[in-house]
Amino acid sequence: MTKDWNTRTNLVHAGTRRSQYGEVSEAIFLTQGFVYDTAEQAEERFIESGDDEFIYARYGNPTVRMFEERIATLEGAEDAFATASGMAAVNGALMSLLKAGDHVVSARALFGSCLYVLEDILARFGVEITFVDGTEIDQWRDAMRSDTKVVFLEALSNPTLEVIDIRKVSDLAHEVGATVVVDNVFATPIFQRSLDLGADVIVYSATKHIDGQGRCLGGVVLGTRDYIRKTLEPYMKHTGGSMSPFNAWVMLKGMETLDLRCRTQGNSALAIAEAVEGHAKVDRVLFPHLKSHAQYDLARAQMTKGGTVLSLVLKGGQAEAFRFLNALQIITISNNLGDAKSIITHPSTTTHQRLTPEQRETLGIGDGLVRLSVGIEDTDDLIADIMGALDAV
């Protein structure tokens, strides 16, 4: 039935399960367990539970199931499994697919914790990882091997917002039989359909745009029913990374306004990028749908909007960047993104502090770079705030 609906209708209605009370707002089933009418029914459910039959909240819960079905419908995926955080999703997607001796090819520019899972955890268990510059398709081609099992990438790199050609990378991965796992957070489920571009598994930190109001941690893994139920679910349900029913309810409410928020934020981000580009205090503006972006054509082909995050490279270094951040009135200094509130961060001293100066240099993260996650405030107010703070630099 939901197949005929468009995005905004799905975001409000897909996956809804009403109890016998006919509630309008989705119910929070804040229960860890479920009772059985008879011992025989309990036995049967442990052999094979149906769609509306639950056993234990670590395995599944009605509120969590509503969230999984709603996001699977939005993404065009056969199934989904909700997780306690974005990192539980990334870790589960990778761990459930890999064993000692396997090979992974990954883009080098990764969210810090994703890099830790690959470099420090998986490597410790005998998984070999080759890192490549995600924008260089030849590096991907050269890195693929017959024992490559997983290809991992973030659709847009953080915080330099480079674009990876998902179709080309997926084609190369599929030639050697590897599974393509895409962390689609920066592209958002609204602006980019990575499954249609060839990816096999999508992961989100629902903490970002899906909640979008800075309240809860959450994550989700999406893919074929076979992958989600036979490969991922056994790993997740036995290792404890499942989403709480309360957080699933917050995410369901977040999804109702996801399209409205992302579009508003995406439009503002482009307007801000255009307004700030060329400013005397700004060396460069990094935003995928800005004409000056090195991969503008690819970004236009792959994403309907350029995302909700942009980076400004200020002339000068840390001192200038700090003066800029400290002079902002509306935009707050924090490190979340995708929030209704505009948030700014200085990656080289915060989110990417752990890297060596050489690693930051390779990734293009200089001391003058600031990352701005654009919220839903009035665009003109945000531009005025930024211009005022630039004057103070």
Ligand X SMILES: *Cc1c(COP(=O)(O)O)cnc(C)c1O
Q: How many residues of this chain bind ligand X (CB under 6 A)?
A: 17
Q: Determine, following the binding rule CB under 6 A, whether residue 96 of this chain makes contact with ligand X.
A: no
The burial of 127, by beta-carbon neighbours within 10 Å (0-12 exposed, 13-18 middle, 19 or more buried), is given as: buried
From CA 66, how far away is CA 51, in angstroms rounded?
Answer: 11
Which of 159, 219, 241, 375: binder of ligand X (CB under 6 A)?
219
Which of 60, 86, 306, 347: binder of ligand X (CB under 6 A)?
86
- Name which of 245 and 347 has its Cβ closer to ligand X: 347
Residue span 160-189 as binding mask against ligand X, x where in contact by CB under 6 A, dash where not? -----------------------x-xx---
CB of residue 368 to ligand X, shortest distance in Å:
22
CA atoms within 13 A on the CB side of 159: 30
Residue 27 is given by DSSP the state P
Sole window of 65-73, 86-94, 125-133, 142-150 interacting with ligand X (rule: CB under 6 A): 86-94
CB of residue 166 to ligand X, shortest distance in Å:
15
What are the backbone dihedrals phi and psi of residue 322, each rounded to the nearest 5 degrees, phi first? -65, -40
From CA 267, how far away is CA 175, in angstroms rounded?
Answer: 38
Q: Tell me which residues in 277-296 interact with ligand X (CB under 6 A).
A: none
- Nearest-Å Rg of the Cα atoms of the chain is 21
From CA 48, how far away is CA 344, in angstroms rounded?
Answer: 48
- Name which of 282 and 288 has its Cβ closer to ligand X: 288
E strand intervals along the chain:
79-83, 103-107, 128-132, 148-154, 179-183, 201-205, 219-223, 282-286, 309-314, 332-333, 343-345, 369-373
CB of residue 128 to ligand X, shortest distance in Å:
22
Which of 54, 67, 111, 287: binder of ligand X (CB under 6 A)?
111
Sole window of 2-10, 11-19, 108-116, 118-126 interacting with ligand X (rule: CB under 6 A): 108-116
Q: Determine, following the binding rule CB under 6 A, whether residue 154 of this chain makes contact with ligand X.
A: yes
Give the binding site for ligand X (CB under 6 A): 85-87, 90, 111, 113-114, 154, 158, 183, 185-186, 205, 207-208, 217, 219
